[in-house]
A = this chain, B = another copy of it.
Amino acid sequence: MSDAFHVYDTTLRDGAQREGISYSVADKLAVARLLDGLGVGFIEGGWPGAMPKDTEFFARAAAGELTLRHARLVAFGATRKAGLTAEQDPQVRALLDAQTPVVTLVAKSDRRHIERALRTDVAENCAMVADTVRFLRGEGRRVFVDAEHFFDGYAFDPDTALRVLDAAVTAGADVAVLCDTNGGMLPLGIAEVVAQVGERTGFRLGIHCQDDTGCAVANSVSAVQAGATHVQCTANGYGERTGNADLFAVVGNLATKLDMPVLPALGDLTRVSHALAEIANLAPDTHQPYVGSSAFAHKAGLHASAIKVDPELYNHMDPEVVGNVQRVLVTEMAGRASVELKGAELGLALGAEAVAQVVGTVKEREAHGWSFEAADASLELLMRGALGEESPVPFALESYRVIIERRGGEEVTAEATVKLQVGDERLIATREGNGPVNALDAALRAALEPGCPWLGGVELSDYKVRILTPGGSAGTHAVTRVLVETSDKLGEWTTVGVHPNVVEASWLAMVDALAYAALHSRG
């Protein structure tokens, strides 16, 4: 994408402020890869020096763990402290050490914050901004400046707010980003201020909105209509308090309402939105604009036939543009076309009958909480079953038993026993583990490994649990969905299991994982 318009993502920094989100470094790398795949221009990775995990993220990215095709990586941080030079300030050094091509500095632009929170005066605040920008420019960095609390500050004392922008841009900052940090603005007011500031300064302006009035998306889009050419968002609107402007809604609006195709991979919005929710371990918002599973769902009733004939009369846009689908009945996403496509991808020649059977099974299972979107290996096994292939599971289960015990202040123990039939042989093994699933995995391997030496190279590399349909009168009665990621030297694959009992759900996913390994002769 050209530099004329910036889609700037801050999921990894501002988005991570959302109550309940706690990204690991591996999560952060995965998030960055997905955002890069969408084609965002800038990915703000965190605040090196202030947050140890962010420092590690930048180190691992620089060491080669993150190869970006579209996006440039951004380190976020504060200007130099009062009384230090930029070069001396360890936080500024940490920004350099992050080795990103771009640095975004946060600068106070509301006089009340300068005086009451920073306890300094406007002149020193501007010097801190200018010095830091100049130093980083001298070190070859491109610099953006987030003018914190800009709209409140501009309403209270416009001169101070504009002086801060001027200090930043004169020192070499590329974009002055106007931030509605407390999120109290409305779109007509945002548009008016952005247009005014643009006219008074001539600077390249960006916009950063929080959703406290429920208007972050609208405010961001209004700012663009008023002249901003850099928009800061977070995936799914994650962020502190009520959140930030949702990347997917902002981009969807710019592309489909204002004819600004600012992202190359618009058709991936829905998939990436859901994958990012998965990594954040949050349920996707089914009612989210553009990407929610209900976003184009019509309760059939009166208009069903009209919707069928003239869908464009009842949708504000074609859902396929953002990789979403219209749903008229209460059915899940699987359609014939996507199953055919998937089969072809896996090299399976599914006939019409097998496709129908797979669609039926997927719909039925998804109604019970299964999800094959992130579990390709389970889907492949299901497709092979529909083709009449024999099950590749290398055993028949007679029984398993898991016992978890705790005595007073003592250790908690978990012990599992499996009894299997493999060919003519009956195998029994008992093993202990850290928890029930770990013990069961260990017992299963102990029983199988003598006959399947290849199993030694196959390991469970990630394990995710989601409780579905919570919020009822008895949370522990909810269904549990387990996703298991398994890997060997050749690659990794994901399988799924669903059951009210977390141990059985895990068992189902583990058995699929072994079946997939056996199928692909990973030995």
Contact = CB atoms under 8 A, between A and B. Distances in A.
- Tallying the copies of this chain within the complex gives 2
Contacts of A302: 50
Contacts of A404: 401-402, 436, 501, 503-504
A188 B186 contact: no
A8 B313 CA distance: 26
Nearest to A373: B19
B249 A214 contact: yes
A501 B187 CA distance: 48
A20 interface: yes
Given A26-B470, A183-B316, A242-B292, A399 B408 contact: yes
- Most chain B CB within a 10 A radius of its CB, from A20, A211, A298, A315: A20
A504 B218 contact: no
Nearest to A469: B24
Given A188-B225, A242-B287, A292-B242, A19 B330 contact: yes
Interface string A290-303: 10101111110011
Contacts of A303: 117
B186 A435 contact: no
A473 B502 contact: no
Interface stretch (A337-345, A448-456, A457-465): A457-465
A478 interface: yes
A54 B401 CA distance: 41
Contacts of A24: 468-471
Contacts of A520: none
B252 A17 contact: no
A489 interface: no
A298 B240 contact: yes
Nearest to A403: B403
A323 interface: no
A101 interface: no
A503 to B, nearest CB: 5
Contacts of A333: 51
Interface string A383-405: 00000000000001111111111
Interface string A326-363: 00011011000000000000000000000000000000
- Most chain B CB within a 10 A radius of its CB, from A218, A249, A314, A398: A218
A463 B475 contact: yes
A430 to B, nearest CB: 14
A503 B434 CA distance: 10
- Most chain B CB within a 10 A radius of its CB, from A116, A242, A313: A242
Contacts of A252: 213
Given A295-B242, A402-B403, A313 B212 contact: no
B242 A470 contact: no
Contacts of A471: 24, 26, 281-283, 461-462
A187 B218 contact: yes
A246 B406 CA distance: 45
Given A188-B188, A214-B217, A401-B406, 8 more contacts: A19-B329, A182-B314, A188-B191, A188-B225, A399-B407, A402-B403, A434-B477, A461-B475
